[in-house]
Homo-oligomer: A and B are copies of this chain.
Amino acid sequence: MPIITFTPQNKEIEVENGTNLLKAADQAGLYIEGDCAGKGTCGKCRVRITEGEAGDPTKAEKKHLSDKELDEGWVLSCQKRIKQDLTVEVPAQKEAHLRKTTLAGGVEELKADPAIEKASVKLSRPSVEDQTADLERLLNHLERPDLSVELRELTNFPRMIRDNGYKVTATISGNRIISLEPGDTSEQLYGIAFDIGTTTIMGSLINLAEAEVIAVGATTNPQNIYGADVISRINYASEGKTELKQLQDKVIEAANQIIRDLLKQTRVARDRVYEITAVGNTTMSHLFMGINPTYLAPAPFIPAYSRALEVEASALGLEINPGGRVTFLPNIAGYVGSDTLGVVLATEMDQRKDNCAAIDIGTNGELVLVANGKLMACSTAAGPAFEGAQIKQGMRAAGGAVEAVSYENNRISVSTIDDAPARGICGSGLIDAAAALIDAGLIEASGRFINPEENPEAVPEHFKNRLKKGQGGWEFVLVPAEDAETGEDIVLNQGDLRELQLAKGAIYAGLMILLKEADISEKDLDEVLLAGAFGNYVRKESSLTIGLLPQLPPEKITAVGNAAGDGSRMALASKAMRERAFSLPEKINHLELSTRPDFQDIFVDALKFQ
């Protein structure tokens, strides 16, 4: 598989052949700016290929880049499919943005502050005059008589020090020595930060001595064979211990696969990785730890635990140093997990004095609001439509998915991922399509298609052949059968609009409830943060058009990338950040929307387009 090296960050990622370069950068944890969700229209995602072939420029590249720039290797990252190893220079101003979003708080907080320390010492030799035992001799040299030690590390310690001139390096977690190594290994201190998503698992290998991300890897969560959504997996896990174990084994093996890849890429030794942090939704955290998630599914949605769990890597079978520590960050509630907590940590919402909302839409949708210095969070049953679920021709964001739709000059234009023949519609395409049809006047505020039979003059002539009557009512042809890979029209139908309304209505209503609790209105919001892939790929304008987001000027809406994963990295790199993460759940007031008598009213109101 091709390896892409991004400079000056020096981040490497191994990707499938044919992967889009913009997505590879995202997987590598790099945030590349852009406003058009990869359609090639904004020209902002430019990067320079310094090693490897750039390939022929596309129409979009010719439009946005000069001949000189093209000669120098500049490309639009959204236009490039990777077919070989590349070294890619990411412009400096983007890097500043990256630091802000990936390791929070700006450059000044990037100092190394790992929770795990190493101490290298040369012991004095024992003698009949000084018969101090080996372990106590070490602790005296470390001036840490309070430390305890893993039995595993003590078993061959006497021979190890004598074979290595009494030079030894102790790795210390809290008040415990978790590893004893011959010689001086104090520079070799690594950890891995995981983001355990329902759909995708990502891991970042971090040099803890330098607080530097040195490699990033990702894989599909193989639990998906037991269901794409968390409820299916909870139900499967509830069948018995074997089933729960199967789900746990899947995610652990996927994590191990990422670990092996990261170590291979960087030639870091397994035993020099001492710590793992992880974030994920509450169900993912239960399954990762092998804890029965049964009672998360039915009301009142009770998790087995909410605090951070810290266990030995060997207890979970994670292939790092066997004494290494695994910390899953705390949950906030049954459907507001440590991923949301990671968003708060990475975006520093807990430190903000203004009013700010964060929206993280993945397989579920979580919302956080900080107002008057207080934090609130809720979850909404919103996600699946945005991932293409329950949409007639919905699909995940993959080659051939309609990912962008625009309405300009009375024309509706459609683009697909990789410019492949259309196969279906992904989340960003769904929102764009609805927004474009609203702009074109083809959808009423109620969410119904204009009925060309009742109201023929409302439908411009050139759309008449595209607004058709289908099995479930009126539908709009986005891609005609002859241009589609499937040989069928790719359409947005009335049912799809209803799903979209329910999803966006749930998120918007959730936000309204949070605002109401904080006693402010949407106009009082100083910023709305869009976290997750959703935030990177969906056009703000379309989201505003369909009423998914509050009616604010677009400049107040900021995509913050994979903030959950960034939170995991920060908690790994910094003890202070981790302590902040541990303290967050008690600072975040969770609202259970299902019990609010006002929710239905606000929700129904929120279903409207505009």
Residues on A close to B: CB < 8 A?
126-136, 148-149, 151, 154-159, 162, 241, 244, 289-295, 299-307, 309-311, 315, 331, 333-334, 590, 592, 594-595
- Nearest CB of chain B from residue A598's CB, rounded to whole Å: 15
> Which B residues lie within 8 Å of A307 (CB)?
135-136
Tell me the bound Cα distance from A156 to B245 in angstroms: 12
Name 19 A/B residue pairs within 8 A (Cβ), A-sorted. A128-B301, A128-B592, A131-B592, A132-B302, A133-B302, A151-B290, A151-B311, A154-B289, A154-B304, A155-B290, A156-B241, A157-B291, A157-B304, A158-B291, A158-B293, A158-B294, A158-B304, A159-B292, A162-B295
The listed residue with most B CB atoms (<10 A of its CB), out of A302, A307, A590, is: A302
Tell me the bound Cα distance from A292 to B131 in angstroms: 17
Nearest to A129 among chain B residues (CB) is B595
Tell me the bound Cα distance from A301 to B158 in angstroms: 12
> Which B residues lie within 8 Å of A290 (CB)?
151, 155
> Which B residues lie within 8 Å of A301 (CB)?
128, 131
Tell me the bound Cα distance from A293 to B133 in angstroms: 11
Taking A131-B300, A156-B241 as given, write out 5 further A-B residue pairs in contact, using a Cβ cutoff of 8 Å, ordered by the A residue number: A126-B302, A133-B304, A133-B305, A158-B292, A159-B294
- Nearest CB of chain B from residue A308's CB, rounded to whole Å: 10
Q: Of B135, B291, B299, which is within 8 A of A305 by CB?
A: B135
> Which B residues lie within 8 Å of A306 (CB)?
132-133, 135-136
Q: Of B135, B158, B300, which is within 8 A of A295 by CB?
A: B158
Q: Are A590 and B136 in contact (CB under 8 A)?
A: no
- Nearest CB of chain B from residue A230's CB, rounded to whole Å: 16
- Nearest CB of chain B from residue A396's CB, rounded to whole Å: 31
- Nearest CB of chain B from residue A284's CB, rounded to whole Å: 15
Q: Are A151 and B334 in contact (CB under 8 A)?
A: no
> Which B residues lie within 8 Å of A315 (CB)?
151
Tell me the bound Cα distance from A394 to B592 in angstroms: 81
Q: Of B128, B148, B156, B300, which is within 8 A of A299 by CB?
A: B128
Tell me the bound Cα distance from A289 to B151 in angstroms: 8
Tell me the bound Cα distance from A148 to B308 in angstroms: 10
Q: Are B131 and A304 in contact (CB under 8 A)?
A: no
Nearest to A296 among chain B residues (CB) is B158
Tell me the bound Cα distance from A315 to B151 in angstroms: 9
Closest 10 CB pairs of A and B: A135-B305, A133-B306, A128-B300, A133-B303, A128-B595, A126-B302, A158-B304, A158-B295, A151-B311, A134-B304
> Which B residues lie within 8 Å of A304 (CB)?
133-135, 154, 157-158
Identical subunits present: 2
The listed residue with most B CB atoms (<10 A of its CB), out of A131, A309, A310, is: A131
Nearest to A135 among chain B residues (CB) is B305
Tell me the bound Cα distance from A544 to B306 in angstroms: 69
Nearest to A151 among chain B residues (CB) is B311
Q: Are A131 and B333 in contact (CB under 8 A)?
A: yes
Nearest to A333 among chain B residues (CB) is B131
> Which B residues lie within 8 Å of A162 (CB)?
295
Tell me the bound Cα distance from A29 to B306 in angstroms: 48
> Which B residues lie within 8 Å of A156 (CB)?
241, 292
Nearest to A308 among chain B residues (CB) is B148
Q: Are A305 and B136 in contact (CB under 8 A)?
A: yes
Tell me the bound Cα distance from A20 to B303 in angstroms: 60
Q: Of B127, B131, B135, B292, which is within 8 A of A590 by CB?
A: B131
Tell me the bound Cα distance from A304 to B136 in angstroms: 8
Tell me the bound Cα distance from A129 to B592 in angstroms: 8
> Which B residues lie within 8 Å of A132 (CB)?
302, 306
Nearest to A154 among chain B residues (CB) is B291
- Nearest CB of chain B from residue A199's CB, rounded to whole Å: 25
Tell me the bound Cα distance from A210 to B126 in angstroms: 45
Q: Are A131 and B294 in contact (CB under 8 A)?
A: no
Q: Are A134 and B302 in contact (CB under 8 A)?
A: yes
Tell me the bound Cα distance from A156 to B299 in angstroms: 19
Q: Are B148 and A310 in contact (CB under 8 A)?
A: yes
The listed residue with most B CB atoms (<10 A of its CB), out of A149, A156, A293, A595, is: A156
- Nearest CB of chain B from residue A534's CB, rounded to whole Å: 26
> Which B residues lie within 8 Å of A159 (CB)?
292, 294-295
The listed residue with most B CB atoms (<10 A of its CB), out of A126, A294, A304, A310, is: A304
Nearest to A238 among chain B residues (CB) is B159
Tell me the bound Cα distance from A36 to B55 in angstroms: 102
> Which B residues lie within 8 Å of A590 (CB)?
131
Tell me the bound Cα distance from A307 to B293 in angstroms: 41
Tell me the bound Cα distance from A299 to B592 in angstroms: 69
- Nearest CB of chain B from residue A194's CB, rounded to whole Å: 17
- Nearest CB of chain B from residue A539's CB, rounded to whole Å: 36
> Which B residues lie within 8 Å of A333 (CB)?
131
Q: Are A305 and B134 in contact (CB under 8 A)?
A: yes
> Which B residues lie within 8 Å of A131 (CB)?
300-302, 333-334, 590, 592
Tell me the bound Cα distance from A301 to B134 in angstroms: 11
Q: Are A157 and B302 in contact (CB under 8 A)?
A: no
> Which B residues lie within 8 Å of A592 (CB)?
128, 131
Tell me the bound Cα distance from A551 to B71 in angstroms: 104
Tell me the bound Cα distance from A304 to B244 in angstroms: 41
